């Protein structure tokens, strides 16, 4: 298939590009590089072994999206493009709604106008809000605790309306848990601009000496060691989940489907720190800080629906997640 990846130069999109290209698909990246680097395209070509089409544009430029969909005879879109920093979304909600919601409307218009009706959307476990029970399955009630999460919920709801209005759409909303790790080439990975918000890239910068210590946000949660528990999933497993979702959409009836992409296994912040220390071979400085506003104690998936419907399961373990993060960090630090 010819597949357009909006936000394809970003962290998850670039890894999915590798998985899709290596499975024989033609991928076209459409990204405005507001949170990614131009070198990613070159690095992807090195991994994949052939040139890639990269279109530098904003998804709100509907005419350019339409042109891309037509020029490259696109069969399906994987929609990664979006802003994702929770704190920033609280400070700048208008920018988040404009980019994420308005951007998705523009994409849906372009797809509608060009009769491309197969879409995989990057959603998030954040749409479950505060868990009522664990593990989280797809029928857990949804809610939003911040503007970022609300953009994901609005988009999921819009996609439901679109699928209902026109039975030729095939849509999968993939609710990612906590993507971590990097491609084993060490060429692509998570490269946040500025100090990382997320645990794994933060740990990597502490290990490389770029940051003095890890601040553990709370050790008085109702969890086995008091620190927050999350479902960390290797980004290459997540990438494989997109392939599985596209295969599913092309072989199943039209409609909108929702799948959790997680491992089903929760790890605490302290367990993540210890696992990372084992990989880097030295203790890492940490400090117990107050809880971070909006954090929940535990969040992990029931991945059973994706396993049964997509025939997909995460395979890579915590060691692989830490090793690939560290390898990428070392390479990035060397420039
Ligand atoms: P990322 O920031 O690395 O990648 C997003 C890409 O989209 C970037 O390359 C950015 O330049 C591009 N982009 C943003 N707005 C755009 C626009 N208007 N037009 C064109 N390109 C635009 O983020 P990521 O971690 O790869 O996340 C990809 C998607 O997955 C996002 O939608 C995010 O909300 C979702 N998600 C991420 C996580 C996570 O922890 N990384 C978890 C759940 C869901
Ligand atoms: N966390 C932490 N220190 C950090 C970053 C994160 O203790 O510098 C904790 C955070 O409180 C949560 C877990 O690590 O319990 C995962 O946080 P992350 O921001 O990576 O993901 P999310 O909050 O989206 O699940």
pLDDT of residue 191: 84
Tens digit of each residue's pLDDT (9 = 90 or more) over 35-62 = 999 999 999 999 999 999 999 999 999 9
Q: pLDDT tens-digit profile of 99-144?
A: 999 999 999 999 999 999 999 999 999 999 999 999 999 999 999 9
* Nearest bound ligand to the CA of residue 37: 1
Of the candidates 231, 252, 229, 249, the residue with the CA atom closest to the CA atom of residue 241: 249
For the CA of 148, the closest atom of ligand 1 is 34
Ligand in closest contact with the CA of 266: 2
Please check whether residue 224 lies inside any domain of the structure: no
In a domain, 169, yes or no: yes
Residue 334 has pLDDT above 80, yes or no: no
- With bands split at pLDDT 50, 70 and 90, how would you rate the model's confidence at 194? confident
Which atom of ligand 2 lies at the shortest distance from residue 269's CA?
14
Q: How far is the CA of 231 from the centre of ligand 1 (A)?
A: 19
Q: How many domains would you assign to the chain?
A: 1
Split at pLDDT 50, 70, 90, the class of 210 is: very high
Taking the centre of ligand 2 as the mean of its atom positions, its distance from the CA of residue 283, in whole angstroms, is: 19
153 domain residue, yes or no: yes
Mean per-residue pLDDT for 158-184? 97
Look at residue 332 and tell me if it is in a domain. no
**E strand or H helix at 283, and its extent?**
none
- Residue 4 burial (C-beta neighbours within 10 Å; 0-12, 13-18, 19+): buried
CA separation for the pair 140, 304 (Å, rounded): 14
Q: At 28, is the pLDDT very low, low, confident or very high (cuts 50, 70, 90)?
A: very high
Is 241 within a domain? Answer: yes
pLDDT digit string, tens, across residues 56-109: 999 999 999 999 999 999 999 999 999 999 989 999 999 999 999 999 999 999
Measured CA to CA, the distance from residue 77 to residue 92 in angstroms comes to 28
Nearest CA to ligand 1 atom 21: 31
pTM over 0.85: yes
| CA–CA dist 223, 233 (Å, integer) | 20
Q: Which domain holds residue 66?
A: 2-181+232-262
At 275 the pLDDT is: 98
pLDDT score recorded for residue 62: 98
* Structural domain includes residue 328: no
Alpha carbon of 122 to those of 83, 113, 116, 138: distances in Å?
Answer: 11, 22, 18, 15
Mean pLDDT value across the chain: 96
CA of 225 to the centre of ligand 1 (A): 32
In a domain, 49, yes or no: yes
Asked whether residue 219 is domain-assigned, the answer is: no
CATH number at residue 153: 3.40.50.720
């Amino acid at each position: 298939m010819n597949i357009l990846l909006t936000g394809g130069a970003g962290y998850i999109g670039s890894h999915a590009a590798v998985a899709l290209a290596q499975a024989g698909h033609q991928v076209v990246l459409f990204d405005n590089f507001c949170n990614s680097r131009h070198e990613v395209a070159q690095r992807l070509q090195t991994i994949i072994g052939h040139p890639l089409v990269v279109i530098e544009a904003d998804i709100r430029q509907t005419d350019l999206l339409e042109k891309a969909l037509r020029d490259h005879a696109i069969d399906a879109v994987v929609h990664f493009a979006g802003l994702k920093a929770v704190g920033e979304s609280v400070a700048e909600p208008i920018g988040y709604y404009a980019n994420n919601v308005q951007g998705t409307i523009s994409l849906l218009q372009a797809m509608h106008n060009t009769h491309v009706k197969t879409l995989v959307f990057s959603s998030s476990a954040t749409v479950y809000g505060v868990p009522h029970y664990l593990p989280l399955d797809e029928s857990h009630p949804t809610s939003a605790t911040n503007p970022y999460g609300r953009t994901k919920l609005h988009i999921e709801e819009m996609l439901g309306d679109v699928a209902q209005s026109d039975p030729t759409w095939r849509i999968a909303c993939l609710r990612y848990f906590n993507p971590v790790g990097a491609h084993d080439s060490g060429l692509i990975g998570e490269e946040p601009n500025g100090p990382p918000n997320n645990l794994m890239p933060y740990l990597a910068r502490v290990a490389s000496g770029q940051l003095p210590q890890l601040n553990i946000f709370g050790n008085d949660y109702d969890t086995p060691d008091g620190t927050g528990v999350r479902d960390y999933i290797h980004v290459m497993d997540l990438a494989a989940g997109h392939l599985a979702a596209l295969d599913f959409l092309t072989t199943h009836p039209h409609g909108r489907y929702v799948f959790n992409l997680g491992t089903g296994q929760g790890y605490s912040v302290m367990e993540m720190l210890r696992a990372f220390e084992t990989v880097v071979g030295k203790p890492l400085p940490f400090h117990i800080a107050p809880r971070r506003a909006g954090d929940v104690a535990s969040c992990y998936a029931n991945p059973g629906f994706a396993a049964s419907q997509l025939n997909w399961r995460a395979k890579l373990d915590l060691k692989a997640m830490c090793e690939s993060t560290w390898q990428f960090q070392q390479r990035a630090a060397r420039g």
